[in-house]
Amino acid sequence: MTREGRALRASRVLGLCAAGLALTGVAFALAVRFGEQPISLSAALGEPQSSDAVIFWSLRLPRALLGVIVGAGLAASGATLQGLLRNPLADPFVLGVSGGAALGATLAIALGLATVGQVAPGLLGGFERLSGPALLAFLGAGASVLFVLAVSRGHSTRAPYATLLTGVVFNTFAAAAITLIKALSNPDRLGELLFWLAGTLGYERTSTLGLAALLQAVALGVMVALSGRLNLMMLGDEDAVALGVPVARTRRLLLLATSASVAGAVALTGLIGFVGLIVPHLLRLAFGPDQRLLVPLSALGGAAFLVLADLLTRLSYPLFGGEPPVGVVTALLGGPLFIALLYRRGSAM
């Protein structure tokens, strides 16, 4: 590629990312401004002791920030995995992360382990007040990914397919184990179990949001840094090796980065589907399959999509007398849209 061509591509990437950032900013502003309870923005910013300020700083702002962090991680991971596994139907949960996380959180909720202090008393010091289900979900997600990578190791020529199949099988096993736990659990805990499994955005503390943002920033940085190699790997492992790509090392790093991103997201919010499937699909149709552009755009688009979906859950409070889980809203929005995309592509062939 000529110098002019590289400059043109770089300006296109920067321009589209700036547009995506602006869209995310608009979605974030709407999320912190509107909700089931009307507030005065001037009072929230100028009167620290007012109820408007409490709602803004303690409820809406942390929840919107969590939506940005989780949405960006899920969508960027989905875009990366779709390219890495060469499967447009791959989503962030395909590696067994969702199964391991859900199994860990289900065990914590069923056993009544509400805080980290109850899971590991005296071992984690100041972190003992953190969520027990979140800790076990993160540990379960990490263990499931290590298991999937260990089982699929050695299938050098068919590594993407072996990884995909192992993840699907593990998710099926985890789903069966979760069903067994729900059947044996105290009926008083079933509501909490179902609500977590449906996916929700809560009100996390600043320290938790900071750790989540750091994890997602590192994982996203790895995905963006290796996106050029991923473009070549999508041609096939043999062609990528011939072009100088260390395929095995790159695949391992990308799998670890996406798994860490998804594990961090699921540990805080439960299973929020379709964000990592529909957002990369829409952007790929609009801007092409170049991962160097698709990964950062997916992160921005996923953040905006999840924040707006959560805004809908809060605005629907008067209609339902409560907030539906945001995972239900993303499925209701993403399912018909995905079917429409498949129908459109089928009609165009």
Average pLDDT on 143-156 reads: 76
Q: How confident is the model at residue 306 (pLDDT cuts 50, 70, 90)?
A: very high
Question: Looking at 121-130, 152-161, 184-193, which range is the least confident one?
Answer: 121-130
Give the torsion sign (CA, 27, 30, 36, 37): positive
333 vs 344, more confident: 333
274 vs 133, more confident: 274
Average pLDDT on 299-325 reads: 91
Architecture of domain 3-348: Orthogonal Bundle (1.10)
Note every long-range contact of 336-345, with CB atoms under 8 Å and residues 24 or more positions apart, other chains counting.
337/278, 337/282, 338/274, 338/277, 338/278, 338/281, 341/281, 341/282, 341/285
- Cα distance between residue 140 and residue 114, in whole Å: 16
* Predicted local confidence at residue 295, as pLDDT: 95
pLDDT in tens, 195-233: 888 888 988 888 889 999 999 999 999 999 999 999 999
Question: Looking at 61-75, 143-157, 267-281, 309-323, which range is the least confident one?
Answer: 143-157
* Predicted local confidence at residue 28, as pLDDT: 95
DSSP 294-325: HHHHHHHHHHHHHHHHHHHHHHTHHHHTSPPP
Q: Report the percent of the chain where pLDDT is more than 70.
A: 89
How many C-beta neighbours within 10 Å does residue 195 have? Answer: 15
Residues in the chain: 349
Residue 338 has pLDDT above 80, yes or no: no
Give yes or no for a contact between 163 and 148, defined as CB atoms under 8 angstroms apart: yes
* Predicted local confidence at residue 119, as pLDDT: 54
CA atoms within 13 A of residue 85's CA, in its CB half-sphere: 26
pLDDT in tens, 268-288: 898 898 899 999 988 998 888
Give the torsion through C-alpha atoms of 20, 24, 26, 31, to 10 deg.
160
pLDDT in tens, 60-119: 999 999 999 999 999 999 999 999 888 877 888 888 888 888 898 888 888 887 665 555
Q: How confident is the model at residue 301 (pLDDT cuts 50, 70, 90)?
A: very high
In the numeric block, the tokens 């129908």 are attached to 343
* Predicted local confidence at residue 10, as pLDDT: 76
* Predicted local confidence at residue 27, as pLDDT: 95
* Predicted local confidence at residue 294, as pLDDT: 94
Q: Report the percent of the chain where pLDDT is more than 90.
A: 33
* Predicted local confidence at residue 349, as pLDDT: 47
pLDDT in tens, 40-50: 888 888 888 88
Average pLDDT on 290-309 reads: 95
